[in-house]
């Protein structure tokens, strides 16, 4: 049993050790190129067919050839999280087109140093609170800068803060580590951006946020949580900024 346990640890360490930021960044670059040019073949060479779990848009499994990656979108903004522990990435894409605006959040997961799952939440005109002008404007004002290593929270603390926020939607007695200031961006609506801004207002009740999937990047104190929102199970993504164990920002979008 000791030998078996040791082997498991060694294998896990080996896999994690090969999941580097440069590797993840290279794949994200290929993903962005595929979306920009409407050419999935820029990304598919990174797929691991032996462990492939699928390509999803708004929780619906699709073939890559029927996905939004076949539509060239003029990307006007992108930002990514790199999770070297879970071997995963999250990328936010904003397309401020007047004719075909989109905001896309994509989690990419890896096995054997290659992609084995792609999960995208795609929002567009007609979706909940969608406002590309507002979202693009306020996103540019947010702080997602690198946190000095001595001041970074660990991944357990970052995920716990996000989970507390998500749990609050279904349990008003949950204690959330609110920070000040804290600003929420929901669709295209932005909260109080002043020095005393709070994220604690206008939280619904009786809304379960389930089937959560996380990408955590300690270097920027951030976690993206993809989940199902409410009893209607809307596909949803929320990204959180955590500093000193406290929530300082939240970006949320729900697809239809």
Average pLDDT along the chain, 256 residues, taken 10 residues at a time: 41 55 98 98 97 98 98 98 98 96 98 97 92 92 95 98 97 96 86 84 92 98 97 95 95 72
Residue 205 within a domain: yes
Where helices occur in 90-243 by DSSP H, the ranges are 132-139, 155-168
Say whether both 189 and 107 belong to one domain: no
The number of domains in the chain is 2
Whether residue 114 sits in one domain with residue 173: no
Calpha distance 65→114 (Å, rounded): 19
245: left (phi over 0), alpha (psi -120 to 50) or beta: left
Q: How many CB atoms lie within 10 A of CB 133?
A: 11
Of 134, 74, 68, nearest in space to 106 by CA: 68
- The reply to whether 135 falls in a domain is no
**Same domain, yes or no, for 172 and 240?**
yes
In 3D space, the residue among 135, 100, 149, 117 whose CA is nearest the CA of residue 215 turns out to be 117
Structural tokens at position 40: 């999935």
Q: How far apart are CA 226 and CA 230, in angstroms?
A: 13
The domain spanning residue 20 has which CATH number? 3.10.450.50
Asked whether 179 and 47 are in contact (CB, 8 A), the reply is no
Please give the C-alpha separations between residue 233 and each of 133, 159, 207, 211, 230, in angstroms, as whole numbers. 27, 21, 10, 10, 5
Query: In the prediction, which pLDDT does 166 show?
Result: 97
213 and 120, same structural domain?
Answer: no
What pLDDT is recorded for position 194?
78
Residue 96 shares a structural domain with residue 183: no
pLDDT value for 256: 58
CA separation, residue 96 to residues 92, 134, 170, 224 (Å): 13, 10, 34, 22
- Output phi, psi for 45, to 5 deg: -60, -15
**106 within a domain of the structure (yes/no):** yes
Same domain for 208 and 94, yes or no, is: no
Q: How many CB atoms lie within 10 A of CB 171?
A: 11
Do residue 234 and residue 156 come from a single domain? yes
| pLDDT of amino acid 129 | 87
Residue ranges making up the domain that contains 53: 2-124
117 lies in the same domain as 198 = no
Is residue 140 in a domain? no
In a domain, 144, yes or no: no
pLDDT computed for residue 14 by the predictor: 43
pLDDT at residue 192, as a whole number: 76
User: Minimal CA–CA distance to 237: which of 102, 139, 146, 103?
Assistant: 103
Nearest to 44 by CA among 61, 27, 57: 27
């Amino acid at each position: 049993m000791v030998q078996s346990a040791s082997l498991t640890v060694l294998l896990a360490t080996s896999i994690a050790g090969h999941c580097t930021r440069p590797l993840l960044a290279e794949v994200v670059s290929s993903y962005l190129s595929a979306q920009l040019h409407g050419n999935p073949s820029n990304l598919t060479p990174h797929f691991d067919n032996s462990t492939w779990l699928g390509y999803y848009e708004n929780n619906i499994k699709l073939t890559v050839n029927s996905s939004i990656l076949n539509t060239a979108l003029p990307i006007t903004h992108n930002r990514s999280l790199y999770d070297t522990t879970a071997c995963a990435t999250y990328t936010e894409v904003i397309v401020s087109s007047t004719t075909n605006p989109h905001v896309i959040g994509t989690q990419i997961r890896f096995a054997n140093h290659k992609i084995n799952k792609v999960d995208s939440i795609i929002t567009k005109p007609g979706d909940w609170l969608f406002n590309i002008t507002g979202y693009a404007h306020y996103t540019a004002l947010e702080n997602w800068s690198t946190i000095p290593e001595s001041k970074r929270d660990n991944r357990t603390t970052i995920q716990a803060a996000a989970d507390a926020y998500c749990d609050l939607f279904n349990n008003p007695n949950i204690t959330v580590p609110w920070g000040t200031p804290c600003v929420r961006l929901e669709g295209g609506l932005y909260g109080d951006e002043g020095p005393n801004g709070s994220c604690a207002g206008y939280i619904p009740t009786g809304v379960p946020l389930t089937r959560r999937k996380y990408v955590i990047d300690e270097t920027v104190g951030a976690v993206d949580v993809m989940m199902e929102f409410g009893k209607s199970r809307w596909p949803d993504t929320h990204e959180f900024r955590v500093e000193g164990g406290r929530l300082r920002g939240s970006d949320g979008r729900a697809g239809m």
